[in-house]
Structures are given as C-alpha cells and as structure tokens.
Amino acid sequence: MPNLAKLGCLVAVMLFGGCASAHQEPFRAASFNIRSGVLFDGPDRWAARKHRVMEMIDELDADVLAVQEARSEQVREILEANPRYVAIGAHRGNGKLAGEGVITLIDTDRFMIAEAGVFALSDEPDRIGSITWDNRYPRICAWSRLVDMETGEAVRIYNLHLDHRGRESRELSADLVRKHIDARAGDEPVLVMGDFNTTETSEPVRRLVALDQSGREMRDSFATVNPGVDQGTFTGFNTRSDGEKRIDFVLVDTKLGLIDAGVDPRKIDGRYPSDHFPVWADVVWDATVIATASSTGLAAVDEAVE
C-alpha cells in the first residue's frame, strides 16, 4: 500500500522543489465521522462494517485523525487494530465513557502530546454535557497541543462535532472555539477539524476561518487545493450517492503550508464504511508552500467514483 503522505511529498518535489529537510516532511491530518456503533443501520450496522472502517483508517495513514460519533467500544476496537495511535478526547454525555465521543487519534511515533483537554460547546464550557443553546444534544470540542518529534514544532488541534439542528448552536460554537484558540494558541499554528453539519459558505465556517484581531486566519484545505470542485461528504449510507454536501472539514492555519487535500469517497466491498466520507490534508511547517491544484486528492476521488 503506498504511503499517501509520502506521495504528497512527491507532489511537493515537482511543484516546490521538494522535501529537502525534515522541516518540510509533511504530516497528514484527517477527520472521519465513523457513525455511532449502537444505531440500527441494518447492513451498515457497526458489526457488519467495522472492518471497512478499519481498512479506511489504514488507507488514510493519518498522523492525526479526528474522529466523531465514536462510542467507547468503537474507540477500543480501533486502538486494538491500530497500536500506533493513542486516543485523547471525551464522550459528550459525561466527559468519560457515556455517549458519542469526539476523539483524536495521535501517532506517537510522529507527535508528542504536550497538552490536551475538552470543553463543552455551551455557555458552561467547563460542564461537559451542558446544553444552553438550541442544540438537541450536548456538543463538545477536544483540543490538544502536539509537538513534532522530527522538528520540535508545535501545533494545536481542535476536533469538534457541531449540532445538526441548532443554527444558533453552530454559530456560537464557532465563536467559542475561536475564543479558546485566541486565549491559548499564541503564535502556534492551529488545525480545526470535524463534522460541522454545515457547508463551506455558512456563517459558522466563515467565523472559524475569518481573520481575527490577532492576525490569525484559517484555510478550508479542500477548497484551497481543489477550487471549484463540488464534492460532498455525507451519504447516509446511500450507495448511489457520491456525497450530498461537504460538511466535514480540515481547516488549516495560514501559518502552515498545504501540500494536498482531499475527500476519500471509496466503497469497500460495495458499501461505504460510514455515512460520512473522511477528509484529509497534507500539511508542512513552511507556510510558503501552498498547493493550488490537487494531484492525489482528485485522483482519489476519480478512482473511487469509477
């Protein structure tokens, strides 16, 4: 199996003169809503599709993988199948093991976990499980500060799952995440990933990417690398769908470089691993490196649709 992160580095060699030093070695950040394992999904129930999820995670080969909707038993099975990862984050019911989790999987061969935490997306961020806006379910954000073992550089990771019904909740959640970033990140770069349950032109996404008073600005990685490409990420397990709307994101700080980004809409054994497609971005520390036309990203899409 080819290492796609290294393939992205080959693209960089052609476009930008290559990965001449460890400082240019890319890392892959990905987001994947794996669908709760306790739902009655017939042929797409967890027991019938977990091997597809495991294969997809293996193919993504991410250094940082933001997972949403993961129940504690699903996290355990993923970690057993992928010993390279450690999991940080929490479950939304009580911040421990109850309910769906917002879990970030970290490859500790590449990154050291320097700090990590979780906060509620509500007016009471310290009370996990709190609901104070118009969201139907409790919503949380898992954050971490990772240090690259190869370069010593640090990056802040935010993994969130915004509400599927509450417009106010999505907008105020975006504000709260940016406030948290402004209070903690300083000059360090940030990645914001997850299932936002809204599209790239919406107000929550605009608030997450907007230039703020500190000078921080974020990029929608897929739109940056694949301008004008209409590729959705949600199918509801409909095998005739290639993704209705793009509601899953990897937002990349302009302090970082971007080699490639894509959506992986492949089927495995004729069915989708989840009701969402995973999204990914290949990132470098050099902010001057910006791809404007995807090679591996669009190739992955084309191959899967054929």
pLDDT the model gives residue 214 = 80
pLDDT at res. 37? 65
SS3 label, residue 272? coil
Q: How far is CA 164 from CA 67, 133, 138, 161, 287, in A?
A: 16, 13, 11, 9, 33
pLDDT of residue 97: 59
11-49 per-position pLDDT tens digit:
333 333 344 344 468 999 999 999 886 788 899 999 999
- CATH code at position 73: 3.60.10.10
**pLDDT confidence of residue 305:** 33
Q: Could you count the other beta carbons within 10 Å of the beta carbon of residue 282?
A: 33
Q: What is the pLDDT at residue 139?
A: 95
pLDDT on residue 127 = 93
Distance from C-alpha of 109 to C-alpha of 83, rounded to nearest angstrom: 11
The encoded tokens of residue 141 equal 């954000």
pLDDT of residue 9: 42
- The stretches in the chain having pLDDT less than 70 are 1-24, 37, 93-98, 292-306
Domain that holds residue 149: 4-305
pLDDT at position 293: 61
Q: Which of 3, 288, 28 is nearest to 157 (CA)?
A: 28
Contact between residue 258 and residue 226 where contact means Cβ atoms under 8 Å apart? no
pTM of the model: 0.88
Cβ count near 254 (within 10 Å): 17
Return the pLDDT at 153.
96
What total number of domains does the chain contain? 1
